[in-house]
A = this chain, B = another copy of it.
């Protein structure tokens, strides 16, 4: 049997683990999708190991799933069947080089971004993206995280391709870098990535502002974007988020739609300038609170945003809810309408949730509080997600701003970009992975079932 022979050959490498606790640990991620234990876990220490594993699995046509931090929110690393080999790159955790003068670094897929951040901070640098705390670079590449550039990629047959060199810009051939980044492990496994860094600004300030209505907050966002004010971050927390934070942390913020702005710059003058501009804009939109902190104190205010995700569980104190997260994005001009419709839908469905948004990008997350043991509730949540994503598409948006397609949004992908475009993705996939071993079933089905 091909599976048995494959396993036997893999085991000869001494890198295979089939212990029950291991298989259980790798059977799930941070999504709600059903866990499925893999056949085994193959742990890689270096690129050669990835090549070895792929060559063997490709020979026997046994599917593989690459994983690093196991923090996927869309089921990316959950096997669809039990005859799947997990390729674990989390031990490939070297920071290969930090090129300070060029503002880039070269890292392996198992590098944790927060640990990278600590190392970079000592050099006065930082890597801008802000995913979940345990996220690793491999997964960040896989879900199109900005600033991540594929560098060395191992293809299904074990070939290594280097997609680019290290200049700041290049027009040399096809942008394979961007093809692999965001391919959710279905086209190749990144064995080394370059990351674009930035100089850590010396001056910071955070503003916490609150508004009478969601419309006011959204209009503020729109004006900030349209006036071209360059902020580090701009986050929206809806009134339910503030309620949740108060419940969880025993704070007493107004339960209002709120905006958090993070200003950063290389001079105090820059910060003052941004603060003044924001004060002016917010005051034109029924701002009822404008609290600002500078320097080291600014983290105190930003913690409000950091608290939002886990605090959302406090909205349903009676159960240990699972947080089911959505990830739509719409053009800024539609953000207010979208968020308003979202809140109405939640209310009508009786679903409990808070909403946060990366406001400047029009990307928002609904943190649904779901009793995962209650099938009806799970279905209601799923139905909401589908309605919400469908509405985002009507606004010319996307069903996934950041987290990727994974398992649960394959049909939405077809609706978003059309059959022809998904068929094109299939053709590319079949060319790069003829035996379809790389994370099968994710992003799209290779052989979609005919609809009856």
Residues of A whose CB lies within 8 Å of any CB of B are 99-104, 143-144, 146, 155, 159-176, 178-179, 181-183, 187, 198-199, 201, 222, 225-230, 266-267, 269-270, 272-273, 277, 327, 329-333, 360-363, 392-393, 396-405, 409, 413, 416-418, 420-422, 424-425, 427-428, 430-432, 443-444
User: Which residues of chain B are within 8 angstroms of A161 by Cβ–Cβ distance?
Assistant: 417-418, 420-421, 424
A266 cross-chain contacts in B, Cβ below 8 A:
227-229, 277
Residue among A104, A182, A409, A413 with the most chain B CB within 10 A?
A182
Q: How far is the CA of A452 from the CA of B329 in the complex (A)?
A: 54
A399 contact from B172, B400, B401, Cβ within 8 A? B172
Cα distance, A418 to B183, chains bound together (Å): 22
Give Cα A390 to B438, complex, Å: 36
Given contacts A144-B175, A167-B331, A175-B179, 13 further A-B contacts (CB under 8 A): A144-B170, A155-B424, A161-B420, A162-B420, A163-B417, A165-B393, A168-B360, A168-B362, A171-B398, A173-B413, A174-B443, A176-B421, A273-B273
Q: Report the nearest B residue to A419, measured CB to CB.
A: B161
- The residues of B that contact A175 with a CB separation of less than 8 Å are 144, 175, 178-179, 181-182
User: What CA separation (Å) do A162 and B419 show in the bound complex?
Assistant: 10
Given contacts A416-B165, A443-B174, contact A222 B397 (CB under 8 A): no
A-B contact pairs, 8 of them (CB 8 A): A103-B226, A167-B363, A167-B397, A167-B401, A172-B400, A174-B183, A174-B425, A266-B277
Task: Report B-chain residues with C-beta under 8 Å of the C-beta of A227.
Answer: 199, 266
Determine if B173 and A443 form an interchain contact, defined as CB atoms under 8 angstroms apart.
yes
Give the docked Cα–Cα distance between A155 and B269 (Å): 51
Top 3 A-B pairs ranked by shortest CB distance?
A199-B228, A178-B178, A101-B333
Report B-chain residues with C-beta under 8 Å of the C-beta of A143: 171
CA distance A229 to B201 in the complex (A): 10
Is the beta-carbon distance between B171 and A333 smaller than 8 angstroms? no
Count copies of this chain in the complex: 2
* Chain B residues whose C-beta falls within 8 Å of the C-beta of A272 in the assembled complex: 269
Selected contact of A226 from candidates B100, B331, B332, B420, CB within 8 Å = B100
Task: Report Cα–Cα, A165/B398, bound state, in Å.
Answer: 7
The answer to whether B167 touches A424 (Cβ under 8 A) is no
Q: Is the CB of B99 within 8 A of A331?
A: yes
Q: Are B396 and A165 touching (Cβ within 8 A)?
A: yes
Contacts of A403 in B (CB 8 A): 171
A171 touches B182 (CB 8 A): yes
Residues of B within 8 A of A424 (CB): 155, 161, 176, 432
Contact flag A398-B167 (CB < 8 Å), given A101-B332, A144-B175, A413-B172: yes
B397 & A166 in contact (Cβ 8 Å cutoff):
yes
| Separation of A179 and B398 alpha carbons in the complex (Å) | 19
Say how far A170's CB is from chain B's closest CB, in angstroms: 4
* Other-chain residue from B163, B226, B229, B269 in contact with A269 (beta carbon distance below 8 A): B269
Is the pair B363, A172 in contact by a Cβ cutoff of 8 Å? no
Q: Is the CB of B225 within 8 A of A103?
A: yes
Interchain CB contact (< 8 A) of A169 among B198, B277, B361: B361
Contact A172 B101 (CB under 8 A): no
Question: Judging by beta carbons under 8 Å apart, are A432 and B427 in contact?
Answer: yes
CA distance A413 to B166 in the complex (A): 14
Chain B residues closer than 8 Å to A99, beta-carbon distance: 331, 333
On whether A401 and B170 interact (CB within 8 A), knowing A226-B101, A420-B159, the answer reads yes
Chain B residue contacts of A228, Cβ below 8 A: 198-199, 201, 266
Nearest Cβ on chain B to A218's Cβ, whole angstroms = 11
Choose one: B174, B183, B267, B398; the contact of A182 (CB below 8 Å): B174
Residue of B nearest to A171 (CB): B144
A25 smallest CB distance to B (angstroms) = 26
What CA separation (Å) do A403 and B360 show in the bound complex?
A: 32
